[in-house]
Amino acid sequence: MRILSGIQPSGTLHLGNYFGMMRPSIELQDQGEAFYFIADYHSMTSVFDAATRRQHTLNVALDFLACGLKPEKTTFFRQSDIPEVTELAWILSTVTPMGLLERCHSYKDKLARGISPNHGLFAYPVLMASDILIYNSNTVPVGKDQKQHVEVTRDIAIKFNLQYGETFVIPEPQIRDEVAVVPGLDGQKMSKSYGNAIDIFGDEKVLRKRIMSIVMDSRSPNEPKPDAEKNLAIQLLKLVAPADISTDFENRLRVGGLGYGDLKKALFEHYWSYFSTARAKREELAANPDYVQKVLRDGAARARQLAGEVLEKARKACGLR
């Protein structure tokens, strides 16, 4: 089984990225042949500064390796080291109906937030389809917001196969229901671009302050809170604390007697210790950038071999050979 996923170097990675995409991907490493990449071509639709892109790319590599990606087992690479994906994206775009892209929520959401769209942003799902199809991927672990893009990929692959003959493997999205959408500090989906994220790594003081700043309602500590499961700190605590501890906090909130300050303090402590091993590993890796670059180079060499074969098959199928 080929497992494939990607993440954009468009900002600092946060708990939504970790629980929605990174942890499921890392856990799947032993269940098949995993290909994970840093989607730097995709980041070009929203990041317009070269140094920023380079910096985020290195940071995503450090974050992923620190969190447990095993480069000896998993093929880990930079998307742009495989230029074949851009050629396949063109080929796929010619069998992609405009309506399919016009219906994509992620594009519509970005428009709604006032982003002035470029063609790359509109065509982004076609490049994503190329990423997935060029490695004969069977399963794609992603957060819920990316599910539609994997469905678009399936539609494009089916259309190409019908038009030009069986060429591509049809992939399946893999979504973890319990962490499909991790909420941010404002209760909306946690996102790099909404200013509501808790980063995986960073300065302790800053992160403590961020967690302590989560806005709660004005009910007094002693008042019972029958809606305790909806509390944002409880929802986040469930991700980073052992189940018996988060259940205990939830019950104490429900019956009354637990203050929001104490709850947020506990959330910070559990969050901080959840990532302590990864934090130490990240420091080691950051001191050894040559190693990180080598991992990405070796991964790219492996990925490129397969990408070349699948692209050639697609070229032949549609008469470019």
Where on the chain is the footprint of ligand ADP (CB under 6 A)?
A: 7-8, 10, 16-17, 20-21, 142-143, 145-146, 179, 181-182, 189-193
Q: Which of residues 196-235 bind ligand TRP (CB under 6 A)?
A: none
Least CB distance from residue 184 to ligand ADP, whole Å? 7
Residues 6+ apart with CB under 8 A from 33: 1, 2, 3, 75
Q: Residue 17 touches which of ligand TRP, ligand ADP, none (CB < 5 to 8 A by kind)?
A: ligand ADP
Query: Nearest-CA neighbor of 148 among 108, 106, 202?
Result: 106
Q: Which of residues 41-70 bind ligand TRP (CB under 6 A)?
A: 42
Nearer to ligand TRP, 91 or 211 (CB): 91
Nearer to ligand ADP, 103 or 294 (CB): 103
**Residue among 70, 73, 110, 144 flagged as catalytic:** 110
- Look at the block and give the residue holding tokens 């709850």: 263
- Which of the ranges 4-12, 94-102, 213-221, 313-321 carries the binding residues for ligand TRP, by CB under 6 A? 4-12
Helix ranges (H only) for the chain are 15-17, 23-28, 40-43, 50-66, 84-93, 98-102, 105-112, 119-133, 147-164, 204-212, 232-240, 243-255, 260-274, 276-286, 289-317
For 50, 314, 321, the CA distances from 92, given in Å and listed in that order, are: 28, 10, 16
Q: Which amino acid is at 96?
A: T
Termini Cα distance of the chain: 29
Q: Residue 189 touches which of ligand ADP, ligand TRP, none (CB < 5 to 8 A by kind)?
A: ligand ADP
Q: How far apart are CA 291 and CA 294, in angstroms?
A: 5
Q: Residue 59 touches which of ligand ADP, ligand TRP, none (CB < 5 to 8 A by kind)?
A: none
Q: Is 264 annotated in the active site?
A: no
DSSP-derived secondary structure letter, 270: H
Least CB distance from residue 92 to ligand ADP, whole Å? 20
Q: Is 192 annotated in the active site?
A: yes
Q: Which of residues 90-129 bind ligand TRP (CB under 6 A)?
A: 128
Give the contact letters, 136-175, x = binds to ligand TRP (CB under 6 A), - = no. Answer: ----x-x---x--x--------------------------
Least CB distance from residue 172 to ligand TRP, whole Å? 12
Nearer to ligand TRP, 58 or 150 (CB): 150
- Residues forming beta bridges with residue 7, ordered by sequence position: 38
Q: Is 189 annotated in the active site?
A: yes
Calculate the dihedral angle through the C-alpha atoms of 187, 141, 131, 162, rounding to the nearest 10 degrees.
Answer: -110
Q: How far apart are CA 2 and CA 178, in angstroms?
A: 23
Catalytic residues: 110, 189, 192
Contacts to ligand TRP by CB under 6 A? 4-8, 39, 42, 128, 131-132, 140, 142, 146, 149
